[in-house]
């Protein structure tokens, strides 16, 4: 699984931008999606991955948003995640062969602030509702990839997306689902002061499982609850950004971006 991006959903983009400004994490304005119901900003990293901040456009009720309306309405933060593939049709066939129902390939696009239209194809895989966003969705660019994402200026001490933390009902059930779809290894429990409850990582994959609260599961289903950005130097990252004190993450050091909107949702792991 090659991480492409993680979508961070909110009911208004302004407070998200304000939070990013507060912690010093730069971002670019990404434009409006084709159906006109959502717009986005993003922080692009050197490895080509990015963190997307998505919200309804002005005048659009969050429940009418074209992407993840329930997550946007609930100010969920991490809402969904995406993996980059080389052939969208081949990836759709792999999902079908593994026994999954799919929607797509679907043509997607957005118009950047400079007027350039960015286009891609994506496939959404359906698992038992309401846990439909537990698995990532694959994506392939139609237009040049650097039109969709480029490294954001002034990003420092960050290597890219490192780990998507998934809030699940059962670690065993989630592990079986990922094994069925991606032939992943069994999860390994880790010691952590970063999240409440038990946490497990999937060897060889950018994925971790944590038990989600009943209230989140009832409202949003099993899906991402946090995203961890990678760094080779947490000290340099601490100099560049406003971060919380360091906590344990399976033998690694982790710190959250220190703002109420981001804390516990977006972190940096060394």
For residue 130, the domain's CATH number is 3.10.180.10
Range of the domain at 93: 3-148
Task: Clarify whether residues 24 and 83 are in a common domain.
Answer: yes
Q: Identify whether residues 208 and 260 lie together within a single domain.
A: yes
- Shared domain for 131 and 226, answered yes or no, is no
Same domain, 62 and 183: no
Angle at 19 between CA 146 and CA 48, to 5 degrees: 20
Structural domain contains residue 154? no
Alpha-carbon span 132 to 223, nearest angstrom: 8
Q: Which long-range contacts (CB under 8 A, 24 or more apart) does 180-186 make?
A: 180/98, 180/99, 181/95, 181/98, 181/100, 181/125, 181/135, 182/1
Is the residue at 209 inside a domain?
yes
- Kindly state the average pLDDT of the residues 208-228: 93
Residue 155: inside a domain, yes or no? no
What is the per-residue pLDDT for 126?
80
Q: Quick one: 130 and 176 in the same domain?
A: no
Q: For the chain, give the mean pLDDT.
A: 95
Asked if residue 22 belongs to a domain, the reply is yes
b/e for 149-173, b at 16 or more Cβ within 10 A? bebbeebebbbbbbbbbbbbeebee
Do 44 and 114 have their domain in common?
Answer: yes
- Would you say residue 266 has pLDDT above 90? yes
**Domain count of the fold of the chain:** 2
User: What is the spatial distance between Cα 190 and Cα 5, in angstroms, rounded to a whole number?
Assistant: 24
Let me know if residue 226 belongs to a domain: yes
Answer yes or no: is pLDDT of 196 > 90: no
* pLDDT at 10 exceeding the cut of 90: yes
Q: What is the mean pLDDT of residues 129-152?
A: 93
- Rg of the chain over CA atoms, in angstroms? 17
Q: Based on the domain organization, do 128 and 232 belong to the same domain?
A: no
Evaluate whether residue 49 is within a structural domain: yes
| Final residue belonging to a domain, choices 148, 172, 192 | 148
153, part of any domain: no
Question: Is 143 a residue whose pLDDT tops 90?
Answer: yes
Please give the average per-residue pLDDT across 120-142, as a whole number.
90
Mean pLDDT of 96-120: 95
192 and 222 fall within a common domain = yes
pLDDT at residue 197 in the model: 72
| Residue 49, pLDDT above cutoff 80 | yes
Q: What pLDDT sits at residue 130? A: 75
Cα dihedral 78, 80, 81, 86, rounded to 10, equals -160
- Alpha-carbon distance 117 to 104, whole Å? 21
139 and 212, same domain (yes or no): no
Quick check: helix, strand or coil at residue 220?
A: helix
Whether 45 shows a pLDDT value over 80: the answer reads: yes
């Amino acid at each position: 699984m090659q991480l492409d991006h993680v979508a961070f959903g909110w009911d208004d983009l302004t407070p998200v931008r304000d939070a990013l400004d507060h912690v010093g994490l730069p971002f670019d304005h990404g434009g409006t999606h084709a159906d006109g119901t959502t717009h986005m900003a993003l922080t692009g990293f050197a490895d080509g991955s990015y963190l997307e901040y998505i919200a309804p456009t002005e005048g659009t009720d969050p429940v009418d948003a074209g992407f993840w309306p329930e997550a946007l309405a609930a100010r969920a933060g991490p809402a969904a995640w995406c993996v980059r593939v080389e052939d969208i049709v081949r990836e759709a066939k792999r999902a079908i062969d593994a026994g999954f129902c799919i929607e797509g390939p679907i043509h997607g696009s957005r118009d950047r602030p400079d007027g350039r239209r960015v286009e891609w194809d994506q496939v959404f895989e359906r698992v038992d509702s309401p846990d439909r966003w537990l698995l990532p969705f694959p994506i392939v660019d139609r237009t040049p990839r650097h039109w969709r994402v480029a490294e954001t200026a002034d990003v420092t001490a960050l290597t890219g997306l490192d780990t998507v933390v998934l809030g699940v009902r059962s670690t065993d059930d989630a592990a079986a689902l990922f094994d069925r779809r991606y032939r992943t290894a069994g999860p390994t429990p880790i010691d952590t002061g970063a999240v409440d409850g038990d946490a497990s990582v999937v060897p060889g994959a950018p994925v971790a499982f944590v038990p989600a609260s009943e209230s989140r599961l009832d409202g949003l289903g099993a899906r991402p609850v946090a995203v961890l950005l990678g760094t080779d130097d947490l000290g340099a990252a601490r100099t560049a950004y406003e971060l919380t004190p360091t906590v344990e993450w399976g033998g690694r050091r982790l710190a959250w971006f220190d703002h109420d909107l981001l804390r516990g949702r977006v972190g940096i792991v060394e």
